[in-house]
Amino acid sequence: MKISARNVLTGKIVDVKKGATTAHVQIDLGGSIITASITNEAVDALKLVSGMTASAVIKASDVMVAVE
Amino acid sequence: MKISARNVLTGKIVDVKKGATTAHVQIDLGGSIITASITNEAVDALKLVSGMTASAVIKASDVMVAVE
Amino acid sequence: MKISARNVLTGKIVDVKKGATTAHVQIDLGGSIITASITNEAVDALKLVSGMTASAVIKASDVMVAVE
Amino acid sequence: MKISARNVLTGKIVDVKKGATTAHVQIDLGGSIITASITNEAVDALKLVSGMTASAVIKASDVMVAVE
Amino acid sequence: MKISARNVLTGKIVDVKKGATTAHVQIDLGGSIITASITNEAVDALKLVSGMTASAVIKASDVMVAVE
Amino acid sequence: MKISARNVLTGKIVDVKKGATTAHVQIDLGGSIITASITNEAVDALKLVSGMTASAVIKASDVMVAVE
């Protein structure tokens, strides 16, 4: 599958924390950590566990820019 | 200002392309490029130009996870 | 690639309209039409044209519910 | 009320699962199921229960496109 | 129509600027101005013009919090 | 830090409710209440409590427009 989302950043999962319905998955991109808030169902469907190679996928319209 | 968004990835702006109302800003994160789709007004207000240090800011609920 | 986004609705592209930076793609899901607002770059990268089979992909946290 | 969101897909609610703060609502669109992640407060305010007719409402800028 | 989005802020439209595909609509909430980036099609469908009473509708998961 | 998000509405926090992973924060904007759904981690990092001055920050592409 190829997707229109312009941002695909690949790293290694370092934490998966399931809540009541919503899970937080942290991916180490080689120094910086990115946090994804996804459904518990997605964690189960993709069998996400620490140590797996995974990508953070982000639509360009969901990215803001900040400067000092 | 401190913001609740969990993901702040800092790099250097490598491209700013304004459209009729929407601009695309590309930030080099040290190898990978991230694209932000923001308003032309924001580009003007923050005086975004290529070469500036800038951060991509992303709310955790806007990050998806993909695996091969 | 498998993605955490829970909603993948497959149909046929019926319209692709590129703007200055942002494109609108319409997918016929078999009666109802869904509109996606994506970057021109994504349209080019995926070579999206009318008549192609394509899926609308939507993160669960971007879906609202309405009732009469 | 008329809303700018371009995508309104109507079906029947088949599941409502409340978590600690976030609920998942599934709507059967006549074959395909769409999942919405919304607040528990919204579930209560709209009195959402299985069997109700309801619509999934999605802003065009939150829809991605994928192809094989 | 009642919608699950928790935030509905009502004011008066003070600017509508259409681009090639994306429009910016500004609503005066009684002092502060809120900007919405929506499709040109939505502007046409809702006949949005300056002076109209209108509401900004925002899903709770799209709101961030910032402190000094 | 200056951010591209066009909408920054300042008020006072009137409620913070943490769930298993996701928290709801309510900000009184001087009459109207806005609800933000953010991570528990963000609540801790920003030390958000009732009575604090805080701003709701919203990207323009996440704002819809509704009319009667």
* Domain locations along chain E: 7-58
Please report the beta strands in F1-68, taking only residues with DSSP state E, as ranges in sequence order: 2-3, 7-18, 22-28, 33-39, 53-58, 64-67
Instruction: Determine contact, residues E46/E57, Cβ cutoff 8 Å.
Output: no
Task: Count how many Cα atoms sit within 13 Å of the Cα of residue A15 in the half-sphere of its side chain.
Answer: 10
Mean pLDDT of A32-61: 98
Task: Say whether pLDDT at B59 is over 90.
Answer: yes
From the CB of residue B54, how many other CB atoms can be counted at a distance below 10 Å?
A: 24
Span A7-54: which CATH code? 2.40.50.100
What are the pLDDT digits (tens) for E23-62? 999 999 998 999 999 999 999 999 999 999 999 999 999 9
Q: Which residue in the block uniquely carries the two structure tokens 């969990």?
A: B6
Chain A positions touching C3 (Cβ under 8 A) are 1, 3, 57
E1 touches chain B (CB under 8 A): no
- Checking if the pLDDT of A15 tops 90, the result is yes
Alpha-carbon distance E29 to E56, whole Å? 9
The rounded percent of chain D whose pLDDT value lies above 90 is: 97
Which chain D residue has its CA at the smallest distance from A61's CA? D61
Instruction: Write the pLDDT tens digit of every residue in C3-45.
Output: 999 999 999 999 999 999 999 999 999 989 999 999 999 999 9
Q: Which of F6, F57, F61 sits opposite B3 (nearest CB)?
A: F57
Q: What is the pLDDT of residue E31?
A: 85
Instruction: Find all residues with CB under 8 Å of C67, minimum gap 6, and list them.
Output: D46, D48, D52, D53, D54, D55, E1, E2
- State residue B11's pLDDT score: 98
Mean pLDDT of the B52-67 span: 98
**pLDDT for E18:** 98
- Cβ separation of D65 and A19 shorter than 8 Å? no
> Residue D36: CB partners within 8 Å, gap ≥ 6?
C60, C63, C64, C65, D24, D25, D26, D27, D56, E4
How far apart are alpha carbons D58 and E59 in whole angstroms? Answer: 11
Phi first, then psi: what are they for C55, rounded to 5°? -115, 145
CB within 8 Å of A51: residues ≥ 6 apart? A12, A13
Task: Name C54's bridge partners.
Answer: C11
B44 touches chain F (CB under 8 A): no
- By percentage, how much of chain D surpasses pLDDT 70? 100
User: What is the spatial distance between Cα A28 and Cα A35, in angstroms, rounded to a whole number?
Assistant: 9
- Would you state the pLDDT for residue C19? 98
pLDDT value, residue A12 = 98
Tokens of A19: 């809540």
- Three-point CA angle C62, E27, A63, nearest 5°: 40
Q: What is the mean pLDDT of chain D?
A: 97
> CA-CA distance, B66 to B59, in Å (whole number)?
17
Model confidence over C41-66: pLDDT tens digits? 999 999 999 999 999 999 999 999 99
Which one, of D4, B57, C8, D9, lies nearest residue E64 by Cα?
Answer: B57
Contacts of F68 in chain D (CB under 8 A): 1-2
Q: Which residues of E touch C20 (CB under 8 A)?
A: 19-21
Average pLDDT, chain B: 97
Residue D8: CA atoms inside 13 Å, Cβ hemisphere, count?
Answer: 15
Q: How confident is the model at residue B31 (pLDDT cuts 50, 70, 90)?
A: confident
pLDDT at position D36 over 90: yes
The answer to whether residue F31 neighbours chain D at the CB level (below 8 Å) is no
E65 contacts chain C (CB < 8 A): no
If you average pLDDT over residues B26-44, what whole number do you get? 97
Per-residue pLDDT tens digits for F20-41: 999 999 999 998 999 999 999 9
> Which chains lie within 8 Å of chain F at 3 or more CB pairs, if any?
A, B, D, E
C-chain residue closest to E1, CA distance: C68
Q: In which band, very low, low, confident or very high, does the pLDDT at F64 lie, cut at 50, 70 and 90? A: very high
Tell me which CATH code domain D7-51 carries: 2.40.50.100
**Residue D9: burial class (beta carbons within 10 Å; 0-12, 13-18, 19+):** buried
CATH topology of domain F7-50: OB fold (Dihydrolipoamide Acetyltransferase, E2P) (2.40.50)
Looking at the domain that runs over C7-57, which CATH code has it been given? 2.40.50.100
CATH of domain B7-58: 2.40.50.100
Local confidence band at D37 (pLDDT 50, 70, 90 cut-offs):
very high
* Contact assessment for residue A9 and residue B32, using Cβ atoms and an 8 Å cutoff: yes
